[in-house]
Amino acid sequence: MQTIRYELIPAQNADGQVALITFDEQGSPVNTMCRQWQSDLAEATARVLADRDQLGDALQGIVLASAKSSFFAGADLKATLRLTPADAPAAFEEIERMKKHFRTLETLGIPVVACLNGTALGGGWEVALIAHHRIALDDPKIQFGLPEVTLGLMPGATGITKMTRLLGLLKAQPYILEGKLFGPAEAQRLNLVHALVDAPGQLLPAALAHIAAHPKAQQPWDAKDYKMPGGTPANPKVANALVVAPAMLTKTTRGRYPAPEAALSAMVEGALVDYDTALRIESRYLARLMTGQVAHNMINTFFFDMNAIRAGKSRPAGVARFKPAKVGVLGAGMMGAGIAWAQASRGIATVLKDVSLDKAEAGKAYSAKLAQKRVDKGGMAAEAAQALLARITPTQDAADLAGCDLIIEAVFENRDLKAQVTREAEPQLAPGGFFASNTSTLPISGLAQASHRPDKFIGIHFFSPVDKMKLVEIIRGKATDDETVARAFDYVQALGKIPIVVNDSRGFYTSRTFGTFVMEGAAMLGEGIPAAVIENAAMQAGMPVGPLAVLDETALSLSVHVLDQTRADYAAEGKSYAATPGELLVERMVREHGRPGRAGGGGFYDYPAGGKKQLWPELRGLFEKADALWQLQDIQDRLLYRQAIETARCLAEDVLTSVHDANIGSIFGIGFPAWTGGALQFIYGTGVPAFVQRADELASRHGSGFALDARTRAALEQHQPRY
């Protein structure tokens, strides 16, 4: 066997033996349910049965252990990506064969004990659930659980059936439908883990002691007097809760995520039948999901692409790791204050500078407010909050920036102002330090002209609100060297955030692509399509909010300011900028109708005091047309395709250099629907030929924004993932 070691070891009881099954996949840092493991599991099960026949009662138990630092990592996801819908029947049979071996081991009548020396997630936790008794290392870094729904899958190797029978239909839902994880201590409180030990060396002795004390064992649901915790769907209280569960789930998924819906169905249907029938129901749902496109999209991005970023695939190689000790932030407004919080909460000394001490202290007060909320909710000790705030030094004096490893400017989007603060603060950098701009649109190479070391100047674009948004876009200017890019990457990871690396251009990647989404929405309003239709279509497609609502939040006036800056930049180059229909409509909203956005009192929406926002009634008379022709699918395609096409153009123009940065950036930066796997995976999941055909149709009806030139099509083919 290549993934499992099997041996008989002495039991604590005289003349007894215990079968020790150690998972140890060769050539892999973790154990997975690869095809070889499935074959080895069958062999290991056969050896247990043979030893049971030969030894009889002398075979006193089975211990499941791991030779890796983790217990078990779960399914072989690369193999899953190669499946097609036609493979569903074979996938079902494969799942059933594996479960048969699980069932054989747990119904021998002798205790099976799992020694959980490390993390067990997904299929790994399902392997742990074979055991009647689970012993875990008491380490808060260890995680257990079933996060399959986050990858478009569901627990299907007994996880749903067993967790439902262990916890009950209602109590199990967060762990199955939301993929909620838990550590050893919580697992013990839930009675999912039965004992904790302090050191790895204590696991096997504890397992042998349990086997000696409990010569007979069966799973709870195999007992004649078993009753499901909380009751089955026949229980009126459970039935009432289940009536609303599908509606609540659809409100969250908008019908775009089949995994949680399938998981809920498997839970409820399985609770109405015997255990073995419930397992078959579970297998059928999983086989359908794992051969479907949504699961492939989400596995590709949330597992492989995310791991590529965590592993530093976009970080220049050969540069020593950088750990910032002191970082300066210029501008204590909403963005600068958020950056200060992100740094201080990660132990980084922060100098927060503004034009006056009052403004700087107001920026620090933002962190005080966030910290107090956490203290009030019990998520942070008062002492920790005080220590965090002590790391932020508000100031109006540039001299206080002396010795900073990094200084980030987060002032208003004005090129002259940014140049001024750069020249003022840059001399205070520590030797070897570097300077960054938090601009969201202005080209970094142009801003770097104010620096005396453009090779040490970079863009670090945070998203608002900084305390909640995980993504940070790192922008390499034309002169930025590899060391600076690598250090920026390390700085972002030190904040616990997700870095993507892009090359310089107007709007970079995220702002440029985000702009196509909101302006396409504005353009459709200009064509007469009702605003409510546009907004609801966007959300039904999976966008977090509609394009008009987003424009209001980010300020229509800011979009007009960017438009003015773009026109000025083009004019300086002797060219004229042709504004898009969406940009022109937004400009009219601000300049003709005095609607600057939410912060200015209203934009596409009104914001009544104490009430819910509502679309501005005047939109009907100004833009909407009763005879406008529209189809829901066309609206959704325009919103999604426009962003995906702009992403493809960024790839062709070398603004983006990797598929993983594009997919992760589009989801975490601009809210591209997670079910698609991101903007480029949306193209690859659709199929490049089919996507191009649909893009050509949209271009013929809605303009050049949807046109894919030969260079862009070639880039898509070149970067297509292969599994």
Q: Which residues are catalytic?
A: 126, 148
Q: Three-state SS for 152? A: coil
- How many residues in the chain? 723
Long-range contacts of residues 709-718, Cβ cutoff 8 Å, at least 24 apart: 709/652, 711/652, 712/645, 712/648, 712/649, 712/651, 712/652, 713/688, 714/652, 715/648, 715/651, 715/652, 716/648, 716/651, 716/680, 716/683, 716/684, 716/688, 717/688
Classify residue 168 by its DSSP letter.
-
- CA gap 613, 69 in Å, rounded: 52
In 3D, which of 372, 638, 400 has the Cα closest to residue 518?
Answer: 638
Give the span between the Cα atoms of 148 and 179, in whole angstroms.
7
Residue corresponding to tokens 């839970």: 267
As a whole number of angstroms, the distance between CA 602 and CA 380 comes to 37
Q: Which helix (H) or strand (E) holds 286?
A: helix 275-290
**What DSSP state is assigned to residue 9?**
E
DSSP 201: G
List Cβ neighbours of 139 (8 Å cut-off, separation of 6 or more). Answer: 118, 184
Cα Rg of the chain (Å, integer): 29
Q: Rounded to an integer, what distance in angstroms lies between the CA atom of residue 687 and that of residue 694?
A: 11
Picking from 414, 405, 411, 461, the residue whose alpha carbon sits closest to that of residue 435 is 405
Distance (Å, whole) CA 81 – CA 296: 6
User: In this structure, what token pair is assigned to residue 581?
Assistant: 């229909």
> How many other C-beta atoms are found inside a 10 Å radius of the C-beta of residue 656?
29
Report phi then psi at 660, rounded to 5. -65, -35
Alpha carbon 41 to chain centroid distance?
32
